[in-house]
Chain A
């Protein structure tokens, strides 16, 4: 186990490994994201209507729904990345927007210009920008944390590789490493499994589960209703408005899925209630 001390710096691998600390923090805080009546629109088109639900720490929460159901919109509205037309988002009983340094957000891979002149290392170090503070260089501690994050996702041999020369799965793992390096409490991923290989998918899910065990909040927009759905603890099922939210078993009922998808459902058969 990791016994190195980083002079007071809260290091995630320590938090994962030291179960007593984790248990202590859980009972003391157990923070929840509470979303109330969240609405958003693109110009005149309503994209999200009065969505209220919670996302618990220590759980892997998936946002699912058909195309154009507002899954990504909900994540962005929650994080203040698009203007909302109403609603509040609390974390730990305080507005989430006042605690942005606790958020790690990974956008859809297709939203990024992968020809940008940067290496894998440059991207992972972006996860340390906020923690480093203005006008400051990256500290040795930050470098260690970034290095560890790259090792976690199996990309430590690629530090000097330009990001444009990575496969889709490798790009996604680099982004995951950046999120880990942020040492955040809330991890949000927008379609991390779109167009990636099986190996990367299992690496990513393993890390998601570890984060959840460390009492982090992990929220994932997921398009796929196949086998991957069984990895999630909780689900938020959307179709512009909230269809259902709660544990996976509660949400994945024929009735809920019919209401969200209107019949043409091809979800993982073993999950049908």
Chain B
């Protein structure tokens, strides 16, 4: 068993995939925890869809696609904020408008350049962790180092701001700067994760591991650390599933993360559906849950 897991690692591409899997699992869980506690999961989705045109334009110009994607991600958050503050349109509608427009533009541009270049739209949409180049490994490692450093340095300020923005503003913390910084971290994380899970499924790695950890532990840094462990386990397992069974890597990673979430939902000591009420049998419980849903 162990041999079967180690054997593929003699290939260079598997080593690179493993490094990216670990970095992306860690990074997404840490940054995604901030999205979850601020109820901004949808914003993660919006940014991730919006990076696509930047990526395509960078590819056309021969620039670094990470930089292009990052710029597009930041532009999309600014567009959302602008629509929300300058019109009576609410934030969720603004997100829907902006990210679908960016996404459509991205798909169009990539389809156009796909014909003359050797790139595959599917890899950007759904990830291809087994195909990362060593350049991409370095880019991902660089982004991970920056993001984790910033989170480490600003941990107490970000905790205060995300818990009680008004209280933080009242004592004079630069809340607009903190908020913008958080958006930059999220955009960077999404860009770093593009290759592993793709822009459509990156939301899962941002939210699911943190949400799983939230069912099990009680403090933000614990949510981040346990979430990171869950994210890393998910992305490594997904990578192996992809290798052995020739599955698309992004969906494989997401399915593992989702499976772990379901386990926590059912068996968490404090919130678990099966662990909360001990007296009933499993079948009866399931029936009661269903009845509550349709009540």
- Contact mask B129-168 → A, CB, 8 Å, 1/0? 0000000000000000000000001101101101110111
* Distance, CA A125 to CA B157, complexed state (A): 11
The reply to whether the CB of B170 lies closer than 8 angstroms to some CB of chain A is: yes
Nearest CB of chain A from residue B62's CB, rounded to whole Å = 38
Number of interface residues of A (CB under 8 A): 32
The reply to whether the CB of A77 lies closer than 8 angstroms to some CB of chain B is: no
Nearest CB of chain B from residue A174's CB, rounded to whole Å = 12
Chain B, interface size category, equals: 20 to 34
The reply to whether the CB of A243 lies closer than 8 angstroms to some CB of chain B is: no
* Distance, CA A112 to CA B173, complexed state (A): 18
* Distance, CA A130 to CA B168, complexed state (A): 9
* Distance, CA A76 to CA B167, complexed state (A): 10
Nearest CB of chain B from residue A272's CB, rounded to whole Å = 35
Closest to B158 in A: A129
Interface residues of A: mostly helix, strand, loop or mixed? mixed
The reply to whether the CB of A119 lies closer than 8 angstroms to some CB of chain B is: yes
Instruction: Decide: A100 and B156 in contact? CB cutoff 8 A.
Output: no
Instruction: Decide: A129 and B170 in contact? CB cutoff 8 A.
Output: no
* Distance, CA A107 to CA B223, complexed state (A): 25
Instruction: Decide: A129 and B153 in contact? CB cutoff 8 A.
Output: no
Instruction: Decide: A130 and B171 in contact? CB cutoff 8 A.
Output: yes
* Distance, CA A80 to CA B220, complexed state (A): 28
- CB-CB under 8 A from A113, the residues of chain B are 37, 39, 163
* Distance, CA A103 to CA B156, complexed state (A): 18
B residues 92-123 in Cβ contact with A at 8 Å: none
* Distance, CA A129 to CA B220, complexed state (A): 16
Instruction: Decide: A117 and B170 in contact? CB cutoff 8 A.
Output: no
B residues 165-204 in Cβ contact with A at 8 Å: 166-173
Instruction: Decide: A100 and B172 in contact? CB cutoff 8 A.
Output: yes
- CB-CB under 8 A from B164, the residues of chain A are 107, 112, 126
Instruction: Decide: B163 and A112 in contact? CB cutoff 8 A.
Output: yes
- CB-CB under 8 A from B219, the residues of chain A are 117-119, 122
Nearest CB of chain B from residue A71's CB, rounded to whole Å = 15
The listed residue (A104, A107, A112, A122) touching B220 by CB distance below 8 A is A122
The reply to whether the CB of A35 lies closer than 8 angstroms to some CB of chain B is: no
The listed residue (A126, A132, A178, A188) touching B159 by CB distance below 8 A is A126
The reply to whether the CB of A21 lies closer than 8 angstroms to some CB of chain B is: no
Instruction: Decide: B156 and A132 in contact? CB cutoff 8 A.
Output: yes
Nearest CB of chain A from residue B39's CB, rounded to whole Å = 8
Instruction: Decide: A129 and B157 in contact? CB cutoff 8 A.
Output: yes
The reply to whether the CB of A79 lies closer than 8 angstroms to some CB of chain B is: yes
Nearest CB of chain B from residue A191's CB, rounded to whole Å = 13
* Distance, CA A112 to CA B165, complexed state (A): 9
| Contact A119:B166 (CB < 8 A) given known A100-B171, A103-B171, A126-B160 | no
* Distance, CA A117 to CA B171, complexed state (A): 22
The reply to whether the CB of B58 lies closer than 8 angstroms to some CB of chain A is: no
Nearest CB of chain B from residue A141's CB, rounded to whole Å = 15
Instruction: Decide: A119 and B218 in contact? CB cutoff 8 A.
Output: yes
Instruction: Report 24 cross-chain contacts, Cβ distance below 8 Å, ordered by A residue.
Output: A76-B166, A81-B166, A100-B170, A100-B171, A106-B167, A107-B167, A111-B166, A112-B164, A117-B217, A117-B218, A117-B219, A117-B220, A117-B223, A118-B159, A118-B220, A123-B163, A126-B159, A126-B163, A126-B167, A132-B156, A135-B153, A138-B156, A178-B167, A188-B170
In order of increasing CB-CB distance, the 3 nearest A-B pairs are A100-B172, A105-B170, A162-B218
Give 8 A-B pairs besides A100-B171, A129-B156 with Cβ atoms closer than 8 angstroms: A81-B166, A101-B171, A103-B172, A122-B220, A126-B160, A126-B164, A162-B218, A182-B171
